[in-house]
Structure 1
Amino acid sequence: MRQTLIFDLDDTLIHCNKYFFNVLERFVSLMHAWFEGYGVTEEDIRQKQVEIDIQSVSQLGFLIDHFPQSLVSTYDYYTDKYGRAASAVEKDTLWKLGVSVFDYEAEPYPHMEETLDALAKQGHTLHLYTGGEPIIQQRKVERLALERYFGSRIYVRHHKNNEALEQILTEGQFDRAHTWMIGNSIRTDVMPALTAGIHAIHVEALSEWAYNVVPVDVQPRGAFLLLKQLREVPSAIEQYRKAAYSS
């Protein structure tokens, strides 16, 4: 039986985290140079930025300003803590550094095309569901011509959570017994899928953001598969279907 497959975009089909990590290394280096005299370590700076970034995303969602603002807010935290005079030039430098992460060209994950080709040939219906700013995410879709796989079945949300996925499933009248969510994030892909009662596949990211790592505390009502690579998805679904049919 044909299945409905909902794919995450960033760090499932295309690279994303590595660009943020590259920018963060430059940020940490700048901050350490500015605050080294106060005894601040590079690890201190990394941890504070992660704390501020996660709090911002949890409250506001994947807005375009959340990342550059997390760099500036980390800077503000340390200037306030140590009484160091804030510099408008330094803050502007950090803001521009944060925004620069969106200048990277979309780059596919290994085996993206062959995986989607195989699933399409098997007759499955493919959907794309991603968090972020519509204009930025659409640019990635167009850069890699992903409409050839997903058509108009593309959903972009600022908040990628239980409520957002439930709305998509309900409004689209998805057959949940034959619907799968495939993504790298336990928080925004796996947990909402399990909560909604659909199948879930966690595909391990090449590099993971701390925000995505949470415990799984929902009992699956269908499949919950853990895969190392994207190219394992077609055979994993086929094996699960055969096992379910034979039983």
Structure 2
Amino acid sequence: MTQQTTQQNIIFDLDDTLIYCNKYFYLIIEQFLDLMETWFHTYDIKTEQIKKKQIDIDLERVNRDGFVSEHFPESFVDTYRYFSVLHGRPVHPREEEQLMRLGRSVYEQPVEPYPGMFETLSHLREEGHTLSLYTGGEILIQQRKIDEMKLQDFFHDRIFIRQHKNRDALESILSEGQFDRQNTWMIGNSLRTDVAPALEAGLSVIYLKQQNEWKYNMADYTLGPESTLYTVTSLNEIPQVLDQHFQS
């Protein structure tokens, strides 16, 4: 006799779990590289060198300060300054301003749901699960995405936005929301900020594996004897994973 899925607390990540995010950053980075190639075409600089320097600068600041919106455009400017000094090219304030505008434009891109977002959230809600949203970033930027997708219809007041997304942040949310860890799931695409902290906190986890993942999101994690971890590649798989888990 199969067992029906019991009501669970399900915490969703936002960026690159429910809505597209990284693809817009990659698009803006390509535009940055095009500009750099135009400005430095007479110098012996490979595109991969520029790209690696920008990534290194950006990741160092995310590790240090969390998700701060100005870090991304500033990484463009600092990369530009680095190669300008390295090769003796004058630094032009107008070019720096252009890079800042370009970097900030990533936060003005359309908000686009992943396939199956509305269907999956609706299905889980109809099954009686309690849905929460936990996202990293600045409140104004993340709230715009939430409002445009009308995600309050699914998450109501269970929306948590944190500048730092780590074990401490998750623990504060679990305490604040009085979550029963034995009946709580974390669903997200980041091994670093979703999967590893949730496993350490004793939650069940569904890892939504994405192609071309941001380097920052890749990290090691530890599976204990009682850990529950499933890997999926689309939102549409999640209800079935939960059903199968409780029928096994």
Bucket of the pairwise TM-score, normalised by the shorter protein: over 0.9
Greater Cα shift, 71-80 or 147-156: 71-80
Match of 1:225 among 227, 230, 243: 230
Task: Note if contact 1:194-1:220 (Cα within 8 Å) is conserved in structure 2.
Answer: no
TM superposition shift of 1:215: 2.2
1:202 match? 207
What amino acid sits opposite 2:197 in the alignment?
Answer: P
Match of 1:2 among 4, 7, 30: 7
2:33 match? 28
2:184 match? 179
Greater Cα shift, 154-163 or 167-176: 167-176
User: Per the alignment, in what secondary structure is the counterpart of residue 130 of structure 1?
Assistant: strand
Stretches of structure 2 that go unaligned for 5 or more consecutive residues are: 1-5
2:77 match? 72
Task: Note if contact 1:11-1:206 (Cα within 8 Å) is conserved in structure 2.
Answer: no
> What is the total number of aligned residue pairs between the two structures?
243
Stretches of structure 1 that go unaligned for 5 or more consecutive residues are: none
Greater Cα shift, 107-116 or 168-177: 168-177
Task: Determine if the alignment matches structure 1 residue 120 to structure 2 residue 125.
Answer: yes
TM superposition shift of 1:43: 1.0
2:3 match? none
**Cα distance in 2 between the residues matched to 1:205 and 1:15:** 11
User: Per the alignment, in what secondary structure is the counterpart of residue 37 of structure 1?
Assistant: coil
TM superposition shift of 1:129: 0.3
User: Per the alignment, in what secondary structure is the counterpart of residue 132 of structure 2?
Assistant: strand
2:163 match? 158
C-alpha root-mean-square deviation of aligned residues, in Å? 1.2
User: Cα 1:163–1:218, aligned 2, differ >3 Å: closer, same or farther?
Assistant: farther
TM-score, length-scaled by structure 1: 0.95
User: Per the alignment, in what secondary structure is the counterpart of residue 182 of structure 1?
Assistant: strand
User: Per the alignment, in what secondary structure is the counterpart of residue 128 of structure 1?
Assistant: strand
1:136 match? 141
1:169 match? 174
TM-score, length-scaled by structure 2: 0.95
What amino acid sits opposite 2:44 in the alignment?
Answer: G
Greater Cα shift, 188-197 or 80-89: 80-89
What amino acid sits opposite 2:143 in the alignment?
Answer: Q
What amino acid sits opposite 2:126 in the alignment?
Answer: K
Match of 1:59 among 49, 56, 64: 64
Can you list the C-alpha shifts for 1:175-208, whole angstroms capped at 9, x where unaligned? 1011010001111100110111101111022442
User: Cα 1:218–1:56, aligned 2, differ >3 Å: closer, same or farther?
Assistant: farther
Q: Percent identity?
A: 48
Once the two structures are superposed, the pairs formed by residues 37-52 of structure 1 within 5 Å of their partners are: 37-52=42-57
